[in-house]
Structure 1
């Protein structure tokens, strides 16, 4: 039998004119995901669903109250997310052991639980956006991942009407969370390259809810190890889990007030283990559930149905070297764009697919092979400081020469090399 916590109550006017209570999590409450330790082992747990786990709403002001299990009756459940009003919860779950993990939602008191979204892959984690949509990470079965243990995955959004849209096209992408400025912060896999050991590592990225403007998080460059599970703190800052090579996991804090938004060890004490958990159970995740300031919204300038985006690079050279760039997809080369005297170029590129840029010399020989993919959304206008510039520095205060020219159209070549 479900026992309800003493939640705050608001009322809403339904379509029939009746007033119905809406539960709101009290200040200080938290959502706790817990499971038998034998089901997850002793190592760091990151995402996905766990068989037999419980998703509990706990109020520390009433420790003796029986908690609400939001996932009661479900075969497996994963990490929760709650909206800024403290009312709506989303989480990945399996209804039965044979089902794929899908996205579920319910009120904070467990009422109205329903299936929100299903995709061909497994839902791994989710977040709620200011406009009411949910963004979630899910595996993509028809794409190849870096390894058998790390399948391809991407971020998607789902609207109230059930419409699902993919918003990331490189990765794998995991662990979405919503920042106060409305962007989504998430962990994206980058292959081995300068400063990243083989076979690669997860780096924190941000992206707008429409999938535009994806970029490494300010301050994350050069951070050793794999960064996972970013979570904005209610009191400010961004907490995430760092998995150093060969070392134990560390909880790190991004300090927005420092000159480079540097990462430092999180110094807050670990919260006590909930007394309501049976012996031998392990806390996998805990999320503050009380109301908090609503994140900012995002006014999208994308043009759905447009087959291209505009890419302007201010300086694509490396140490002053380079005569052109070659744009390619996973299917082949789209074309070559000459660099202007200041190193800039301007091109129309295909959308919603991973792209790579290679730097060439005057003879067409490769000076540097692009290893980190990027993408543009339909109608997106993207300005890049430079392929090899420090993204934490301001660009030169000059107009790029390429901006005065018509962009070279490489979007039409996409049909020739296949999708």
Structure 2
């Protein structure tokens, strides 16, 4: 059995829509209430495509073609570029990746795309290495959406399901809600200008409590709207009177039948609309006119393969104690490119659960100095996942951002390093804009990406095995002298050690915290000092066991930096996948 679209009339009668489809889902209503977008497929083996029909179910036409599986369409604001004579209407939708697998699961990754209403000019607008989903249009024309974030293990091995916003051309991605451990998805906007969303209790697609923020100050107005006694909710959608239509599940210790309800948050009332006897009623939408969002213009030029990143002051941050990272602490910015992996790396959930957690491959594009005022400015490849790491004087990553990107020809800026974007930045021209832009469009040979077999294993054998193989030190490390895959696997597993459930980063290894060299016991061992910072919680007071003097050959500065870079890049065992883009002409080799 498939899924179906049904029109529920005021008198309680129901009428099927999108007849002739094996499955139809994800309805969205046009601004005048006369059209409906939906995802559909005619047979069970078809890929999902986007269709549009009149609100009464007639005049069905296909929008997307030959893009693979597409779903969750929404009407967006009008779109304008300086190269076109007139703005055009477009839609946004979720598309499954054809050759990119999700970094946190064995499934293809999903990304947000847009196209014109006739299906032409398809554009990918998000470049996360995990999946993006649940787009919703905001009154100012931006898109709110749910995004899996897993650039490190700070939120555990599964990552974090966060709410983000961005322009309809994919520029200016920003958090929609403050960061914490709560999963958030299914956003919608009320007529009053509040962003309402579901916080699933199981961090997935299931129901959960409702929460919201004011779009005027989203990072400082977060409020939980429902409690355990109210039940659980799924797929909220606004009604013209300001209330919500939402799928409701009664509390476990209370009575009631699951179904569609009208939820008045101000009056704290739940009124039944439809209590289904068979199946589930999900993804409700009101067939009614609604305000048209603001139009958006764009500087994106698809023919340009480069973009720019700049920062006003890398010392600006959101720490509760300003003394933790004062001005001058950040010496260098490392720019990393995330490397998508295709079907060849597809593994099962069982393997993911049993194997040592692994971060996605990434390579160093450049390490650029921070200017005296904390600013930096770099040219980067457009339309690829980018991660920035702020480095201290030892080359240790102090803070790392999630996956960001810049679109073709865009200049993407930020105020600082995890700063509060609702604060007014200093009114000055940063030093970095007065100097030549740093080139980071292809890997810089001066900062090679460490490879475990070629770079790390030889250091371990020459500098660590004299004490850790057959001696009194523990753990004993196996030799990788033969350079065969089995020996390298054993050596890698021994270096990382067993999973330490009580570590600073949940699910990380005992001796190495992939992506966080500063909290890794191995780093403190080879540097002989505590490198964790005050914001690293328990790791900030970890005991340090330096290498005993005279008992092993000393590591050179280059060897130490190689190990630090390897850990901060994820401490991977395997080699990097092949790059899937061409270096732009005129870029540095």
- How far apart are residue 195 of structure 1 and its match? 6.7
Deviations 1:162-194 (A, max 9, x none): 221111111411001111111111011111758
- How far apart are residue 417 of structure 1 and its match? 5.7
> Quick one: which of 399, 410, 414 aligns to 2:429?
399
Kept in 2: contact 1:125–1:175 (CA 8 A) = yes
| 1:158 is the counterpart of 2:118 | no
Provide the C-alpha distance between the structure 2 equivalents of 1:242 and 1:149, rounded to a whole number of angstroms. 24
- How far apart are residue 149 of structure 1 and its match? 6.1
Q: Tell me the TM-score normalized by structure 2.
A: 0.57
- How far apart are residue 155 of structure 1 and its match? 0.5
> Quick one: which of 100, 116, 127 aligns to 2:63?
116
Deviations 1:28-48 (A, max 9, x none): xxxxxxxxxxxxxxxxxxxxx
Structure-2 change in CA distance of 1:223 and 1:271 (3 Å) = farther
| 1:273 is the counterpart of 2:273 | yes
Q: Give the stretch that moved more between structures: 337-346 or 147-156.
A: 147-156
Q: Tell me the TM-score normalized by structure 1.
A: 0.79
Residue 221 of structure 2: aligned partner: 261
Residues 368-387 of structure 1: matches in 2 within 5 Å?
A: 368=398, 370=400, 372-387=402-417
| 1:323 is the counterpart of 2:326 | no
| 1:212 is the counterpart of 2:189 | no
- How far apart are residue 161 of structure 1 and its match? 3.7
Structure-2 change in CA distance of 1:381 and 1:127 (3 Å) = same
The alignment partner of 1:141 has SS state of: strand
Residues 265-414 of structure 1: matches in 2 within 5 Å?
A: 265=225, 267=265, 269-274=269-274, 279-317=277-315, 318-320=325-327, 321-331=329-339, 332-363=363-394, 365-368=395-398, 370=400, 372-411=402-441, 413=443
User: Which has the larger helix fraction?
Assistant: 2
Residues 37-116 of structure 1: matches in 2 within 5 Å?
A: 51-60=1-10, 63-64=11-12, 66-116=13-63
The alignment partner of 1:403 has SS state of: helix
Structure-2 change in CA distance of 1:138 and 1:270 (3 Å) = farther
> Quick one: which of 170, 173, 184 aligns to 1:227?
184
The alignment partner of 1:379 has SS state of: coil
Kept in 2: contact 1:195–1:222 (CA 8 A) = no
Residue 141 of structure 2: aligned partner: 182
Q: Give the stretch that moved more between structures: 165-174 or 155-164.
A: 155-164
Residue 196 of structure 1: aligned partner: 155
Structure-2 change in CA distance of 1:231 and 1:411 (3 Å) = same
- How far apart are residue 248 of structure 1 and its match? 6.3
Provide the C-alpha distance between the structure 1 equivalents of 2:38 and 2:202, rounded to a whole number of angstroms. 30
| 1:167 is the counterpart of 2:125 | yes
- How far apart are residue 120 of structure 1 and its match? 4.7
Q: Which consecutive residues of structure 1, in runs of 5 or more, have no partner in the other structure?
A: 1-50
Structure-2 change in CA distance of 1:212 and 1:330 (3 Å) = same
Kept in 1: contact 2:151–2:403 (CA 8 A) = no
Structure-2 change in CA distance of 1:248 and 1:207 (3 Å) = closer
- How far apart are residue 296 of structure 1 and its match? 0.4
Deviations 1:374-398 (A, max 9, x none): 0000111111111232333332333
Kept in 2: contact 1:273–1:283 (CA 8 A) = no
**Count of residue correspondences:** 361
Kept in 2: contact 1:126–1:135 (CA 8 A) = yes
Provide the C-alpha distance between the structure 2 equivalents of 1:306 and 1:345, rounded to a whole number of angstroms. 22
Q: Give the stretch that moved more between structures: 393-402 or 94-103.
A: 393-402
Kept in 2: contact 1:348–1:409 (CA 8 A) = yes
The alignment partner of 2:433 has SS state of: helix
Structure-2 change in CA distance of 1:319 and 1:289 (3 Å) = farther
Kept in 2: contact 1:68–1:110 (CA 8 A) = no
Structure-2 change in CA distance of 1:244 and 1:86 (3 Å) = same
Provide the C-alpha distance between the structure 1 equivalents of 2:214 and 2:299, rounded to a whole number of angstroms. 30
Kept in 2: contact 1:91–1:104 (CA 8 A) = yes
Kept in 2: contact 1:303–1:378 (CA 8 A) = yes
Kept in 2: contact 1:86–1:290 (CA 8 A) = yes
User: Which has the larger strand fraction?
Assistant: 1
Provide the C-alpha distance between the structure 1 equivalents of 2:24 and 2:370, rounded to a whole number of angstroms. 51
The alignment partner of 2:117 has SS state of: coil
- How far apart are residue 235 of structure 1 and its match? 4.1
- How far apart are residue 285 of structure 1 and its match? 1.5
Provide the C-alpha distance between the structure 1 equivalents of 2:5 and 2:36, rounded to a whole number of angstroms. 11
Q: Give the stretch that moved more between structures: 101-110 or 186-195.
A: 186-195
> Quick one: which of 119, 128, 142 aligns to 2:75?
128
- How far apart are residue 256 of structure 1 and its match? 3.4
Residue 142 of structure 1: aligned partner: 99
Kept in 2: contact 1:130–1:294 (CA 8 A) = yes
Residue 20 of structure 1: aligned partner: none
- How far apart are residue 360 of structure 1 and its match? 2.2
Greater CA radius of gyration, 1 or 2? Answer: 2
Structure-2 change in CA distance of 1:190 and 1:319 (3 Å) = farther
